[in-house]
Chains A and B, each alone.
Chain A
């Protein structure tokens, strides 16, 4: 009986969460401390793009879809920047095991994103990220206006379309 009640509750809760997504209000980036590649501490609430919207991508060196996503975006990044002024924060959740690989991977792959280290997953937890890849668009006021989990080829095109809408301050569905 107890199990049944619990199962119903969890099912109802998940339904509530799923259905509530469309009318959610906008959360701000938390003031969680993370590190830059040269060891400096920076707060997530200080992420910015000269008054323009920006993108946050959670990834890890061991995550295959993350590599596909970042490589696909890296290829288009110069064009995107020229066209829209986009900035991408690539937040690595690699822990002490794989963290030393982040810097060589970033430079070896010739990525020009802002790479951030979240070694003990503090920011990942604060933003409710389950698994990488998980992508956010943050508007010029620092509010999270769009997010997406997972990566499939072509998702980068959806991202830039939505980003352009955020720049124009259009309604995001």
Chain B
């Protein structure tokens, strides 16, 4: 271990010391280090941390020489910062690959990321700041034999913290094929036609050694053996059509019997459908999306729950908020069954009009709703529960009667003068706590407001003022803690230096407590390097990036981040 570290250190050190030209190739990469020191705080629920300091760090080193590239990522979690799974503790080379591209062929050996279509049956990706990484380890081949046709083949196993995945039968083998045709690139005579059509299909199979599962009938004492399938296949078909201002994107996926820990070991087949319609003209954009997910959790280990070993990607059809109080109740897809719709309208009021003012005004409207699917449960032997049965049947077009999440939000952004820019935002949210694993809790209804004003000072310096307010009647504990207000003032100098102070105040808690989550931060940016220090309190909550969420425990103390690209 130490030797590897030393080797990496020397290699990267020598790159930096001399030049990034190595045997005619180029070396690039990036680096991030997070450092946290948190102390106990009983008021906000920050637990005692045994280590004085926690640290996450990684660096990617990428070597490119013409058609050849190779790279590696070294990661260290000593110990992992709060909110990261303790199984990340340790350090080592988590990712390494070599890749060769020639003419129409691209071959990658080692670790890689890839996605088929919208990801309904396969997506390998990372969200480093969430501690989420399902990198494949194996082989990937992409062939583009003629223009407009791409064929991808993948085989491998998925990362699981620091486990030696190849040493254990416990980790399934993922194999897949995908083909995509862009008709307009394939057929030259229609290349510039207003009709643009592409379609694709994919197939994925996960192999995991069968295991003996037994269930006991509690009343008779009979023992049943469940035959777990070893190969779980899924397939998907998709198309994308655009005609002038209109476009359509649709994908349908089906998954074979896959009894697993997420679905309660039922044999019901999985199904997912996704449809998105868009209209895009100058100054007006509209998008309407709908999806149906039925028993589509797909992992390369049948007994796994949680965020690791995901083979596919089923994002929520809801707006991803940047303001913290708007993201207080984030929604994540219910992989066992959900029907969702979302609509977005984006409109620009032209400048030099009565409503648009001197500079024009941007308006955004977003609506989303997620419901349960229809479920007719099979006749149940109460002593057996549903394990080993088909579980339920479901009618495709019938919407279930439970609502998981609903939101209507509206945003207005406007440049008032050369000095001021203003954004106003409002959201009404209905949140069913069952969506984050709290069944039986009262629904949360919240009105949320934000105003954000940027003021240009002398050349290249600016001030930003932000005020947010969350109003809710629900006030029954950690999940729904009544009203919140947040204020932030941020100063920027020359795009290099910033300082900010903010306070998030939970002023209407049920037990009468008034909790302040104050935070001070400063940052300095030099080209592609950035260092940021903050001190203060972090509320317990959920951080979501790209549709995947992670619980962040409360903390009180210092947090520093250094990032750099080179």
Contacts and interface: CB of A to CB of B under 8 A. Distances in A.
Interface of A: 2-3, 5-7, 9-10, 12-14, 16-21, 23-25, 27-28, 30-31, 33, 38-41, 61-64, 68, 71, 75, 95-98, 100-101, 103-110, 119-122, 125-131, 134, 146-155, 157-158
A71 B346 CA distance: 14
Contacts of B564: 14, 17-18, 21, 130
Contact of A95 (B5, B12, B547): B547
Contacts, number: 250
A12 B14 CA distance: 12
Q: Top 7 closest A-B pairs, CB basis? A: A104-B285, A108-B346, A97-B315, A108-B285, A154-B460, A107-B280, A20-B16
Contact of A6 (B91, B182, B276, B421): B91
Nearest to B14: A16
B286 interface: yes
B565 A16 contact: no
B566 A17 contact: yes
B565 A147 contact: yes
B282 interface: yes
B428 interface: no
Contacts of A108: 280, 283-285, 345-348, 362, 364
B182 A39 contact: yes
Contacts of A130: 30, 32, 563-565
Contacts of A155: 460, 495
B529 A21 contact: yes
B29 A107 contact: no
B386 to A, nearest CB: 30
Contacts of B459: 154, 157
A69 B415 CA distance: 13
B256 interface: no
Interface string B193-204: 000101000000
11 contacts: A13-B31, A14-B564, A17-B16, A27-B28, A39-B198, A96-B123, A103-B285, A121-B113, A125-B113, A148-B527, A149-B563
A24 B19 CA distance: 7
Contacts of B91: 6
Contacts of A154: 456, 459-462, 492, 494-495
Interface stretch (B58-66, B171-179, B302-310, B387-395): B58-66
Contacts of A9: 5-6, 9
Contacts of B57: 10
A119 to B, nearest CB: 6
